[in-house]
Amino acid sequence: MTPDAPPPPAGAPAAPGPVLIVEDSPVQVEMLRRVVEGAGYEVMLAGDGAAALALARARRPAAVVSDVNMPVMDGYELCRRLHGEAGLADVPVILLTSLADTGDVIRGLNAGADCYVTKPYDETLLLASLRSQIDVPPTTSGADAGHPMRLRIGDDVHEVQARDARQLVGLLVSTYESAVYQNRQLRSVQERLLAANRELEDSNRTLEAAYAELRETQSRLVQSAKMASLGELVAGVAHEINNPLAFVLNHHATVSRALVQIEAEARPHLSPERVRLLDKARERLSDMAGGLERIRDLVVKLRTFSRLDAGEIRTIDVEEAIESVLTLLQHRLRERIRVTRRFGPQCSLDCYPGPFNQVVMNLLANAVDAIDAAAREGECEGEIAITTFQDEEMMHIEIADNGKGMSDAVRERIFEPFFTTKGVGEGTGLGLSISFGIVRQHGGTLEAFSEEGVGTRMLVRLPLRQTAPGAATNTGAET
Ligand SMILES: Nc1ncnc2c1ncn2[C@@H]1O[C@H](COP(=O)(O)OP(=O)(O)O)[C@@H](O)[C@H]1O
Ligand SMILES: [Mg+2]
């Protein structure tokens, strides 16, 4: 009994007698007491069936709310004993159960329980059950007292004997009510789970996108680092070649001049044999001039790749610059390659004009080469599409062709100096590495998108304004 029970709230039921709460868990007891007292009932507490029976004998409760599993005497036994006692037989018993298996209902019926409430219980449902059991208590015996029945549930046959039809129906309805309540709980949990799942899927997608971006950034960084170190290497090599080249060129000029002078004086006195030798020497010297020219050209290209020998930054009109490069390439385009232009309305760009033209030239020359290669394989109708547009900070220049395209393995290497898939004398493998260096020096990016047999899209992005001339990342050492 609880002497410190609060006074019943206004509108509470006229005291029908105490509610006997039987529960071995102190925490559960406290919670039940709070709920039942909160509804205005007086409460008696017992920790197991035997103690409950003793309390009920001392003072008849209006109803019993009992746990099933308890030490000493469980809920079913308590129920049976109560209903066997004169004066207590019509005390309604509400069993708190997890209803884990159908056998529970049979056991409850046979024990004479009036109502089931599942654990964890809903307070409203528990109080509604309690109220209806107290308001309309069960009858003790009856004309409609049930006969024993044999019921098959699953593989088991159960002997069932309800006290009367009311107990049978009451217990089954309360079981059903509890199941409906549990079902509702389950559904709401399921909805919350679905929502959580959707959130998880969203986060997963975000994570995947972030990961892809990270990998792309990483490969760009690796590429940049590789190009930067190559830039230094190439600058060093160019420097080493440049010095001996300079004196070889000088000496070549000196030797050529000397030969001309000697020849003029000596020729009339020479035998035909010696004259032939002299002519051969002159020819060889002229061949050497061609070879030396090519070496000088290569050194200039290597230097451009590693460092911008570029003069000053100027503001140019991108459309004009592209058109001038197209004019230079006209002999290679002729009628067989259609060039479509989609120039954005704004075309002004800060850059080193020479190197910028070189980038455009390299990209267009590669596009023409790729179309030629595809044409050799039987496809024709070459097309190069040039698109420019700008956003707030960058100028985008895209050069797309429907040439032979490239495999992933080729695409991964195209920015390496001397990487070429073209035959000897057709490609040096320097065009894209030089372009990459130039674009980088401008603080921009150069990317390739390609599909073998379909075509290639080269995308240049350059900052519209160069704040400090030459301040962008330098790709290599001075030569
Ligand atoms: N538009 C393109 N279509 C197909 N392959 C290309 C294209 N641009 C470049 N490539 C590939 O990249 C390689 C390197 O290009 P580049 O550096 O300009 O050197 P090169 O043109 O002298 O071979 C080419 O040999 C070619 O395999
Ligand atoms: Mg090229």
* Residue pointed to by tokens 């030490």: 71
Ligand 1 midpoint to CA 347 (Å):
27
- Closest ligand 1 atom to residue 434 Cα is 17
Looking from the CA of 164 toward its CB, the CA atoms found within 13 Å total: 13
In the chain, what are the domain boundaries? 19-163, 226-306, 314-463
Ligand 2 midpoint to CA 365 (Å):
6
Q: Whose CA is closest to atom 4 on ligand 1?
A: 405
* Residue pointed to by tokens 């006195």: 269
- Closest ligand 1 atom to residue 458 Cα is 1
Q: Please state which of the four CATH numbers 3.40.50.2300, 3.90.1280.20, 3.40.630.40, 3.40.1110.10 is assigned to the domain occupying 19-163.
A: 3.40.50.2300
The neighbour count for residue 317, using CB atoms within 10 Å, is 13
Q: Whose CA is closest to atom 9 on ligand 1?
A: 366
Q: How far apart are CA 98 and CA 178, in angstroms?
A: 10
Smallest-distance ligand from the CA of 427: 1
Of 416, 363, 452, 421, the residue nearest 222 (C-alpha):
416
Burial label, 20 (beta-carbon count in 10 A; 0-12, 13-18, 19+): buried
Alpha helices by DSSP H, 377-472: 408-411, 431-441
Q: Please, are residues 440 and 473 in contact by the beta-carbon 8 Å criterion?
A: yes
Ligand 2 midpoint to CA 334 (Å):
19
Q: What is the pLDDT of residue 379?
A: 61
Rounded to 10°, the helix 272-306/165-266 angle is 150
Ligand 1 is surrounded, with C-beta below 6 A, by 362, 366-367, 370, 401, 403-406, 410, 414, 419-422, 427-433, 456
Smallest-distance ligand from the CA of 421: 1
Ligand 1 midpoint to CA 428 (Å):
9
Q: How far apart are CA 202 and CA 195, in angstroms?
A: 11
Of 466, 444, 445, 476, the residue nearest 308 (C-alpha):
476
Q: How far apart are CA 454 and CA 402, in angstroms?
A: 6
Q: How far apart are CA 117 and CA 123, in angstroms?
A: 10
Ligand 1 midpoint to CA 163 (Å):
94
Ligand 1 midpoint to CA 298 (Å):
18
Q: How would you write the pLDDT of the chain (479 residues) with one tens digit per residue? A: 444 445 544 444 456 789 999 999 999 999 999 999 999 999 999 999 999 999 999 999 999 999 998 988 999 999 999 988 888 988 999 999 877 677 888 888 888 899 989 888 889 989 999 998 998 777 665 444 567 777 777 777 878 888 787 788 888 888 888 888 888 888 999 999 999 999 999 999 999 999 988 887 777 677 666 666 666 777 788 888 988 999 999 999 999 999 999 988 888 899 999 999 999 999 999 999 999 988 888 887 677 656 544 568 889 899 988 988 888 788 888 888 999 999 999 889 999 887 888 899 899 999 999 999 998 887 678 999 999 999 999 999 999 999 999 999 999 999 988 899 998 778 888 889 889 988 988 999 999 999 999 999 999 999 999 875 544 443 333 32
The third-level CATH classification (topology) of the domain covering 314-463 is Heat Shock Protein 90 (3.30.565)
Three-state DSSP at 324 gives helix
Residue 327, both tokens = 């004019």
Q: Helix, strand, coil % (nearest 5) of the chain?
A: 50, 15, 30
Which helix or strand (DSSP H or E) is residue 175 part of?
helix 165-266
Which of 369, 383, 451 gets mutated to test ligand 1 (max ligand atoms within 8 A of its CB)?
369
Ligand 2 midpoint to CA 452 (Å):
17
- Closest ligand 1 atom to residue 430 Cα is 17
Q: Whose CA is closest to atom 8 on ligand 1?
A: 366
Smallest-distance ligand from the CA of 420: 1
Residues lying with their CB under 5 A of ligand 2, a single-atom ion: 366, 431
- Closest ligand 1 atom to residue 419 Cα is 14
Which of 305, 398, 414 gets mutated to test ligand 1 (max ligand atoms within 8 A of its CB)?
414
Q: Which amino acid is at 138?
A: P
Q: How far apart are CA 164 and CA 171, in angstroms?
A: 11
Q: Which amino acid is at 132?
A: S
Q: Please, are residues 18 and 43 in contact by the beta-carbon 8 Å criterion?
A: yes
Looking from the CA of 97 toward its CB, the CA atoms found within 13 Å total: 26
Backbone φ, ψ for residue 478 (5° rounding): -65, 145
Ligand 1 midpoint to CA 97 (Å):
78
Ligand 1 midpoint to CA 367 (Å):
8
- Closest ligand 1 atom to residue 410 Cα is 27
Burial label, 154 (beta-carbon count in 10 A; 0-12, 13-18, 19+): exposed
- Give the gyration radius of the chain's Cα atoms: 48
Q: Whose CA is closest to atom 19 on ligand 1?
A: 429
Which helix or strand (DSSP H or E) is residue 253 part of?
helix 165-266
- Closest ligand 1 atom to residue 428 Cα is 22
* Residue pointed to by tokens 């599409």: 385
Smallest-distance ligand from the CA of 457: 1
Instruction: Give me the count of residues in the chain.
Output: 479
Backbone φ, ψ for residue 317 (5° rounding): -100, 110
Q: What is the pLDDT of residue 463?
A: 97
Q: What is the pLDDT of residue 353?
A: 81
- Closest ligand 1 atom to residue 432 Cα is 17
